[in-house]
């Protein structure tokens, strides 16, 4: 049995590449993204009433992993890449159907003359252009299970501080700079490479960022605006 599903929208986010994207939604609350509907879903009736909820679920696709093989066992990066777990016990992107879900906050909804209704959301952990297959309201009394537990996937420890060792192209209170601090404090480095002081680089919101970590402090070496 097979099922064909069609994207209803795609995300326009500040991440043109995977490295640097928060590993879970809402870890960087200052991130801003847009949900842009496909032409056949731009009728405002599709989202009538959505303004009555503060958060929504996005059902989306790990679009860069659709052609990659999956296995029963995976090595979750947040566990150091050394522990094997069943793929259905993890959030690994290499899955039989490459589907994911994220709860994000609605910031505002604007009507665009060409794109129709555009939903602005914060805290999204999606690569720019990621296809979205469904949107559902987040219902706090049923979706928030306060007694839920996990012994492995606990809240990740943050790094202590972000030190900018370069000129800043943005004001200190700029939203993008605040989001960048949140991203870096979550430590985007691979879990198995956290013992050295290797330099890393990624692109975020039209900027090239270079950094390394020393004594639990993120040291940003360069922030260069890209044309």
Query: Which domains, ranges and CATH numbers included, belong to the chain?
Result: 9-143 (2.40.30.70), 161-225 (no CATH)
- For the entire predicted model, the pTM comes to 0.92
Do residues 71 and 119 lie in contact, with contact meaning Cβ atoms separated by under 8 Å? no
CA neighbor of 186 nearest in space, from 9, 23, 53, 67: 23
Q: What is the pLDDT of residue 155?
A: 74
Is the pLDDT reported for residue 82 higher than 90? no
Element (H, E) at 210: strand 207-214
Of the given ranges (80-94, 123-137, 163-177, 203-217), which has the lowest mean pLDDT? Answer: 80-94
Task: Note the pLDDT tens digit of each residue in 112-170.
Answer: 999 999 999 999 999 999 999 999 999 999 999 999 998 877 777 789 999 999 999 98
Calculate the alpha carbon distances from 33 to 12, 29, 129, 146, 223 in Å.
Answer: 6, 11, 11, 28, 21
Buried b (16+ CB within 10 A) or exposed e, 116-149: bbbbbbbbbbbbbebbbbebeebeeeeeeeeeee
With a CB cutoff of 8 Å and minimum separation 6, the contacts of 11 are 33, 34, 35, 36, 58, 60, 124, 126, 127, 128, 129, 130, 132
pLDDT recorded at residue 94: 86
pLDDT at res. 179: 97
Using the structure block, give the residue that is written with the tokens 């009728």.
43
Nearest Cα residue to 224 out of 180, 162, 178: 180
Segment holding 4, helix H or strand E: none
CA distance 40 to 34: 17
Question: How many angstroms separate the CA atoms of 124 and 34, rounded?
Answer: 9
Is the confidence at residue 34, as pLDDT, over 70? yes
Q: If pLDDT is split at 50, 70 and 90, which confidence band does 193 have?
A: low
Mean pLDDT of the chain: 92
- d(Cα 199, Cα 211) in Å, to the nearest integer? 6
Instruction: Evaluate if residue 86 carries a pLDDT over 90.
Output: yes
The pLDDT, as a whole number, for residue 126 is 96
| C-alpha count within 13 angstroms, C-beta hemisphere, residue 218 | 23
Give me the mean pLDDT over the 81-86 stretch: 85
| Mean pLDDT across 173-182 | 95
Q: Tell me the mean pLDDT in the region 83-99.
A: 90
């Amino acid at each position: 049995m097979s099922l064909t599903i069609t994207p209803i929208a795609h995300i326009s986010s500040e991440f043109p590449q995977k490295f640097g994207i928060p590993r879970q939604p809402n870890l960087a609350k200052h991130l801003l993204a847009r949900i842009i509907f496909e032409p056949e879903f731009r009728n405002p009736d599709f989202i009538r009433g959505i303004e009555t909820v503060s958060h929504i679920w996005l059902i989306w696709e790990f679009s860069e992993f659709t052609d990659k093989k999956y296995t029963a066992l995976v090595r979750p990066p947040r566990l150091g890449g050394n522990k094997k777990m069943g793929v259905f016990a993890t959030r690994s992107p290499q899955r039989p159907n490459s589907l994911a879900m994220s709860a994000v906050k609605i910031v505002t909804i604007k009507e665009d003359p060409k794109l129709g209704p555009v939903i602005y959301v914060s805290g999204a952990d999606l690569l720019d252009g990621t296809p979205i297959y469904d949107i559902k309201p987040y219902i706090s009394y049923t979706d928030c299970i306060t007694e839920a537990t996990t012994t492995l996937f606990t809240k990740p420890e943050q790094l202590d501080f972000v030190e900018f060792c370069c000129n800043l192209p943005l004001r200190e209170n700029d939203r993008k700079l605040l989001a960048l601090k949140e991203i870096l404090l979550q430590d985007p480095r691979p879990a198995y490479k956290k013992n050295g002081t290797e330099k890393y680089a990624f692109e975020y919101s039209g900027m090239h960022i270079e950094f390394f970590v020393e004594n639990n402090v993120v040291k940003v070496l360069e922030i260069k605006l890209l044309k």
